[in-house]
Structure 1
């Protein structure tokens, strides 16, 4: 955990706190995203008439090149985003457990709080309900709000900042993918990378962790609630 003076310097002027959803607000070891991953593969098999192996190759190629598999499907095949999102987020959310420590930390943060996700609002609301953090955010900015242009592409952030009147230099971004923190850092945001613990790290592809030690990552934690609690104590008056 970073020392208190460094946390105070980084976060004392933050007025807007922005959180990614999947594998950030809930821990990767929950393995919720594996359900989505399977459904994305099944959607590809049907939509593109592919076998499971070929669908997997396309899925991961689009995810890496376009930011989401959906974006690749829209650009290269004209797939309607609503049908995709409705299908892949129709999952069992019960593996996500209530997290009272996270709820308490979010409540104590000064200023505004947002979820910014490449997923759907419905999925974000379901996860929030399971975590026990419903109502703690000023808004959920989902992929439809971004006009289906995902992070890490710069226009997605621009649309988010404009909609909510956010000054990036007075904001902080929490993400599980280093590449999604590059644009925020370039605009002056404080950036926090939320990494998986050892048990869940093996579930990630190697490229997803590229940039973990790059200059655009200001802080790294494997426990977002504990990190937020440390920030709150560091910036508390007196």
Structure 2
């Protein structure tokens, strides 16, 4: 794991190389590179997702006609119990998912900067590149365009494309791989949520945890107790761009 950035709310994870090496798996066979979007493809330190998080609470308060404090409680409760807040809202309240996504992703992208070094690192990866997100396609397009990497992505698999079956459900991963013709043994999955990598690992993907300072899920809190990477995570980094740069094929290789 690369050296920790000195930023924010949660210290980067540090593991002894010998401890984590038993779980490592290389990228020699990787020809499909799959990226989560929020707090993965862009650094969590820009705090962009905090605005999405705030708007989720506002949506729930308005549509369920409850005080904001209770709306925030429901938001996090559904997130923890159902994998995503939206899944809980659909199952328990029959909320229109399109209206929810349109509202919560109507955010200012000013905190997000163009990332030319990330674009260079992505462009050097051999094979296909896909965004796989529990958010909306439009949100992913806006973010990737602002980063300067949208043109490098073959496609975006959003939650609507998975018929609102969300990560971490194994069914969401199956829908994504079927939709895009992905052989899991040829794929690598990059995620900031450790439990979202369990299904990817079970399918046979190489898994990479991207450290996030934005930690509001119990699975992220459990990372503080880790003494090494769990079996379902092959690699971890707190600098996606630097990590990807090490994976570019070497000349004459």
Task: Give the direction of change, closer, same or farther, for the CA distance of 1:101–1:179 in structure 2 (3 Å limit).
Answer: same
Partners of 2:154 and 2:69 lie apart in 1 by: 41
Q: Partner residue of 1:18? A: 34
Specify which of 46, 49, 63 is matched with residue 30 of structure 1.
Answer: 46
Larger RCO: 1 or 2 (CA < 8 Å, sep 6+): 2
Q: Is 2:177 aligned against 1:166?
A: no
Query: Residues 67-86 of structure 1 correspond to what in structure 2 (within 5 A)?
Result: 67-86=83-102
Verify: 1:124 aligned to 2:135, yes or no. no
Residue 6 of structure 2 corresponds to none
Counterparts in 2 of 1:54 and 1:117: CA distance versus 1, 3 Å: same
For residues 192 and 83 of structure 2, the distance between their equivalents in structure 1, rounded to whole angstroms, comes to 13
From 124, 136, 146, give the equivalent of 1:108.
124
Moved over 2 A (4+): 210-213, 235-238
Shift of 1:20: 0.1
Secondary structure of 2:247 counterpart: helix
C-alpha contact (below 8 Å) 2:192/2:209 kept by paired residues: yes
Rounded to whole Å, the distance in 2 between the matches of 1:94 and 1:131 is 11
Residue from 170, 195, 216 that aligns with 1:154? 170
- 2-structure distance, mates of 1:236, 1:163: 33
SS in 1 for 2:162: coil
Q: Secondary structure at 1:140's aligned position in 2?
A: strand
Compute the TM-score of the two structures, normalised by the length of structure 2: 0.86
What's the CA shift for 1:206?
Answer: 5.6
- Displacement of 1:134 in angstroms is 1.7
TM-score by length of 1: 0.91
In 1, the alpha carbon distance for the partners of 2:217 and 2:192 equals 13
Aligned twin of 1:228: 244
Q: Deviations over 1:123-180 (max 9, x none)?
A: 0011011101121011000010010110000111101101111110110000000000
User: Is residue 139 from structure 1 mapped to residue 155 from structure 2 by the alignment?
Assistant: yes
Report the equivalent of 1:178.
194
- Alpha-carbon distance in structure 2 between the residues aligned to 1:99 and 1:164: 26
Please state how far the C-alpha of 1:208 moved relative to its aligned partner: 3.8
- Determine if contact 2:80/2:217 at 8 Å carries over to the other structure: no
- 8 Å CA contact 1:94, 1:130 repeated in 2: no
**Alignment root-mean-square deviation, CA:** 1.8
Q: Unaligned 5+ residue runs, structure 1?
A: none
Structure 2 unaligned blocks of 5 or more: 3-16
Deviating more after overlay: 11-20 vs 47-56: 47-56
